């Protein structure tokens, strides 16, 4: 019986090989990726060697830029069959414009057969966004959860597919939202979610790999001690205590393992993923304390050109109101009029403030004496420009929301408000699709 070899690229990226057939998942060949996600442990990529690689198929679980990057896909042979889970046709158009000739839309529960492999997309909790993969080959049954959550109906479906030999489980409960409002967020509990442990018990795999994550932010970033609550060591302790029959195996970038009925053993690493420095590293979580001011953070980014500054200024004067008018809040906090202060910090830390009155779905510029503040947002000019023109994502913008003390009535109402109802977030991210990939495509086609 052939073994199934599984190699880690980075984050949720893997290469599976069996009987000479190679398929890959969520191929990210960049460090950093998603603009400021730095591999942890550190690696570099031999892009010339990657261009020589031939995969029998590449599977992409969803469109988020840490799973579907056109810069990484640009390294692949254009005849490579791509199987993509995405409900938006625009992504398939972009892949065609990049030159790929064999692109397929994945459908839930419909297996794709590639040589000895059967790859079946399974439903994630947010089926409009992402998917999971069941991978079967060499008599082995592997669940790649990618970075989704699992609902009860899908869990029942997956339990019916037992036995599971290996589960690639997303081990981090990342604090993408909490770091936006650190003065208002409670520290993360020092434990895995109980439902994760219950679901892993129900799946009862022989082996578990802590998957996804594998990145930190810029070396100076305070997010590095506030973003990632769970260490590899902590994950292994809790999972092995909950599943005494299972073994937790850490699989860092480039490393490979062969899986068969007898167990899991090391295999030859990927030569084009090159470890850099100490690989025996782990996450340290220190809560939300000591978050530097937006003014200090803004000094980390370069000055905008005159043209770029004009773009930001035009957005604040005109476009922001136009975009905001087409958005809707998830909570009812903005059902009544609120005064919103937007603070933009330049490369020297200097701050320019804008005030808007938010009422009846409109954002109208207003003066300082138009009532008490009801919401505040801070951002660096460089990051705002990047969001407008380069597809910068929310998790890398270092927004600071409601870092102020409001009057008593506003404070009471804010307790029920949703941070992502922030007017700037809504104006930047409520319209369109795939801004990051669109920015990549413009640059790649302009070569």
Query: Is residue 288 over pLDDT 80?
Result: no
All domains in the chain, ordered by first residue:
4-275 (3.60.15.10), 294-445 (3.30.1050)
Match 């929310």 to its residue by tokens.
394
Strand order across the 4-10 sheet: 103-105, 82-84, 57-60, 21-25, 13-18, 4-10, 256-260, 263-267
**Mean pLDDT confidence for 72-95:** 97
- The string of DSSP letters for 102-134 reads -EEE--TT--EEETTEEEEEEE-SSTTT-EEEE
Taking all residues of the chain, what is their mean pLDDT, rounded to a whole number?
Answer: 95
Q: Bigger pLDDT: 289 or 114?
A: 114
pLDDT value for 188: 87
| Beta carbons within 8 Å of 443's beta carbon, 6+ residues apart | none
Match 């009987």 to its residue by tokens.
19
DSSP 25: E
Q: How far, in Å, CA of 5 to CA of 257, rounded? A: 6
pLDDT value for 1: 67
Tell me the pairing of strands 4-10 and 140-144: unpaired
Tell whether pTM > 0.85. Answer: yes
Write the pLDDT tens digit of every residue in 168-205.
999 999 999 999 999 998 888 889 999 999 999 999 99
Q: How far, in Å, CA of 27 to CA of 104, rounded? A: 16
Query: Is residue 395 over pLDDT 70?
Result: yes
């Amino acid at each position: 019986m052939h073994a199934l070899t599984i190699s880690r690229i980075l984050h949720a990226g893997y290469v599976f090989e069996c009987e000479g057939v190679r398929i890959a998942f969520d191929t990210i060949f960049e460090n950093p990726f998603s603009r400021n996600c730095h591999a942890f442990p550190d690696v570099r990529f031999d892009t010339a060697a990657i261009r020589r690689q031939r995969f029998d198929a590449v599977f992409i679980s969803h469109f988020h830029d840490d799973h579907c990057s056109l810069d990484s896909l640009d390294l692949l042979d254009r005849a490579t069959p791509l199987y993509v889970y995405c409900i938006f046709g625009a992504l398939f158009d972009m892949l065609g414009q990049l030159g790929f000739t064999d692109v397929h839309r994945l459908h839930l529960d419909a297996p794709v057969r590639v040589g000895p492999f059967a790859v079946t997309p399974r439903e994630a909790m947010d089926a409009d966004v992402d998917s999971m993969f069941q991978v079967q080959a060499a008599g082995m049954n592997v669940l790649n959860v990618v970075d989704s959550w699992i609902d009860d109906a899908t869990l029942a479906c997956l339990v019916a597919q037992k036995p599971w030999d290996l589960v690639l489980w997303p081990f981090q409960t990342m604090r993408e939202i909490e770091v936006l409002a650190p003065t208002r967020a409670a520290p993360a509990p020092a434990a895995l979610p109980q439902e994760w442990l219950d679901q892993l018990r129900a799946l009862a795999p022989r082996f578990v790999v802590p998957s996804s994550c594998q990145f930190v932010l810029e070396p100076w970033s305070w997010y590095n001690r506030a973003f990632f609550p769970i260490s590899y060591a902590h994950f292994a302790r809790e999972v092995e205590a909950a599943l005494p029959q299972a073994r937790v195996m850490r699989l860092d970038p480039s490393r490979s393992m062969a899986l068969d009925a007898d167990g899991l053993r090391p295999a030859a690493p990927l030569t084009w993923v090159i470890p850099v420095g100490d690989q025996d590293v782990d996450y340290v979580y220190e809560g939300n304390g000591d978050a530097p001011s937006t003014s200090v953070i803004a000094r980390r980014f370069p000055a905008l050109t005159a043209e770029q500054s004009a773009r930001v200024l035009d957005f604040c004067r005109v476009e922001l109101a136009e975009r905001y008018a087409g958005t809707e809040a998830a909570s009812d906090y903005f059902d009544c009029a609120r005064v919103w202060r937007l603070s933009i910090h330049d490369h020297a830390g200097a701050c320019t403030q804008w005030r808007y009155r938010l009422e009846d779905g409109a954002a109208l510029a207003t003066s300082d004496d138009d009532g008490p503040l009801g919401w505040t947002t801070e951002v660096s000019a460089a990051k705002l420009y990047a969001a407008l023109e380069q597809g910068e994502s929310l998790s890398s913008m270092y927004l600071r929301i409601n870092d102020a003390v409001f009057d008593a009535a506003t404070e009471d109402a804010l307790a029920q408000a949703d941070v992502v109802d922030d007017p700037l977030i809504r104006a930047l991210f409520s319209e369109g699709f795939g801004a990051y990939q669109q920015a990549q495509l413009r640059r790649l086609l302009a070569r």
